[in-house]
Amino acid sequence: MIGKVGIAVTAALLLVSAAPVSVEAAVCKGSKVSALGKWHSTMFSARASARIAWKRKARAVYGTKFNTWWRSANKSYGCWSYNKRERCRVKARPCRAGF
């Protein structure tokens, strides 16, 4: 009897572990959002400023579900320097979780 219960428990565990826990497909907008950051003394700060500007613009255009930079698709940075200052522009397609 214990053998059959053990087999049943093992089979149930295998079935549960084979099923996906969470299917999260991204839903992305068709066009990119572009945003220009502020001038900064370091490239790190200039890139961060551009991402913050992108988040604000994406939220204004598509709402809070689409303003997550790390979830966006087709990301690109364009940065330049002038008088020891750095500035960046970022572009990306806003995406949200697809649950």
Per-residue pLDDT tens over the stretch 40-55: 999 999 999 999 999 9
| DSSP conformation class of 24 | -
Which stretches of 2-63 are DSSP H helices? 2-18, 43-62
In a domain, 48, yes or no: yes
Q: How far apart are CA 58 and CA 32, in angstroms?
A: 9
In a domain, 11, yes or no: no
Q: How far apart are CA 27 and CA 38, in angstroms?
A: 29
pLDDT at position 24 is: 55
pLDDT at position 18 is: 39
In a domain, 44, yes or no: yes
| Residue numbers of the domain that contains 78 | 27-97
| DSSP conformation class of 21 | S
Lookup result for tokens 């214990």: 2
In a domain, 6, yes or no: no
- Mean pLDDT of the residues in the chain: 82
In this prediction, residues 11-22 reach a mean pLDDT of 39
Predicted TM-score (pTM) of this structure: 0.72
In a domain, 70, yes or no: yes
Q: How far apart are CA 29 and CA 91, in angstroms?
A: 13
In a domain, 17, yes or no: no
In a domain, 49, yes or no: yes
